[in-house]
Amino acid sequence: ILNVEQSPQSLHVQEGDSTNFTCSFPSSNFYALHWYRWETAKSPEALFVMTLNGDEKKKGRISATLNTKEGYSYLYIKGSQPEDSATYLCALHTSYDKVIFGPGTSLSVIP
Amino acid sequence: DGGITQSPKYLFRKEGQNVTLSCEQNLNHDAMYWYRQDPGQGLRLIYYSQIVNDFQKGDIAEGYSVSREKKESFPLTVTSAQKNPTAFYLCASSFAGGPGTGELFFGEGSRLTVL
């Protein structure tokens, strides 16, 4: 079974703080690395899909980087807001469309 | 509106019974997936399908079965052989097509409780 790991498991930050999470994965034989945000009582929604080594994506205050050679991706949130509170999932899109998720990082932003 | 519909939202089952969870999408997506979530854990892949009449086992397929007779539909049957069926089940779909594609779109989930 292919293992996708995420750290930390949970995180509590003050409003306005910047934060980052890590996703690590086997560094070969994959098509893409996905990041999703999963808010309570909602469905997970895609933030980024990254494929190339050195890829950097940005959406508002959230950005992500990808290092395929060493098998990790970082997700950054600048100036956290209470509405950023959610579980952040990374997923590895392997060959043949198998998509494997990590356990997630639960973020709580304290007003 | 395009999207993924899962039903039922909540389901109670007695031990020894099979149940079928429905997943329908009108996004014209090729690939469909079933995941299971248990408390404190991430999403674990049960089955996935890239094309009609074809599907593959995920990491925890034992005790489950699926069919893909139509592009729009990917029902999951939780059989009596599944030892711990109480969980939250999520269905997802995406365009298939190789590198760089395949962002998943999710349904709202079905919560199964075995009494």
The Cα B72–Cα B50 span in angstroms is: 12
Task: Calculate the alpha carbon distances from B34 to A32, A82, B3 in Å.
Answer: 19, 31, 15
**What pLDDT shows up at residue B35?**
98
Burial of B81 (0-12, 13-18, 19+ CB in 10 A): exposed
CA-based radius of gyration for chain B? 13
Is B37 at the interface with chain A, CB within 8 A? no
Chain A residues whose CB is inside 8 A of the B99 CB are: 31-32, 51
User: pLDDT tens digits for B34-48?
Assistant: 999 998 888 999 999
Min distance B69 CA to chain A CA atoms (Å) = 19
Chain B residues whose CB is inside 8 A of the A100 CB are: 45, 59
Does residue A14 have a pLDDT over 80?
Answer: yes
Length of chain A: 111
Does residue A103 have a pLDDT over 80?
Answer: yes
Chain B's closest residue to A30, CA to CA, is B99
Kindly give, in sequence order, each residue whose CB lies less than 8 Å from that of residue B59, ignoring residues fewer than 6 positions away.
A1, A100, B44, B45, B46
**What pLDDT shows up at residue A26?**
83
**What pLDDT shows up at residue A3?**
86
Nearest CB to B104 within list A46, A96, A103: A46
User: pLDDT tens digits for A18-66?
Assistant: 999 999 998 667 788 999 999 999 999 999 999 877 889 999 999 999 9
How does the average pLDDT of chain B come out, rounded?
A: 92
Chain B residues whose CB is inside 8 A of the A98 CB are: 45, 48, 56, 58
Min distance A95 CA to chain B CA atoms (Å) = 7
User: pLDDT tens digits for B63-87?
Assistant: 999 999 999 999 999 998 888 999 9
**What pLDDT shows up at residue A2?**
78
A100, B59 contact by CB (below 8 A): yes
Strand pairing report for A99-101 and A5-7: unpaired
User: pLDDT tens digits for B14-39?
Assistant: 988 999 999 999 999 999 999 999 98
Chain A residues whose CB is inside 8 A of the B94 CB are: 97, 99
Chain B's closest residue to A39, CA to CA, is B108
The pair of structure tokens assigned to A84 is 């950023």
Chain A's closest residue to B39, CA to CA, is A103
DSSP state, residue A52? S
A50, A57 contact by CB (below 8 A): yes
Comparing A67 with A30, the larger pLDDT belongs to A67
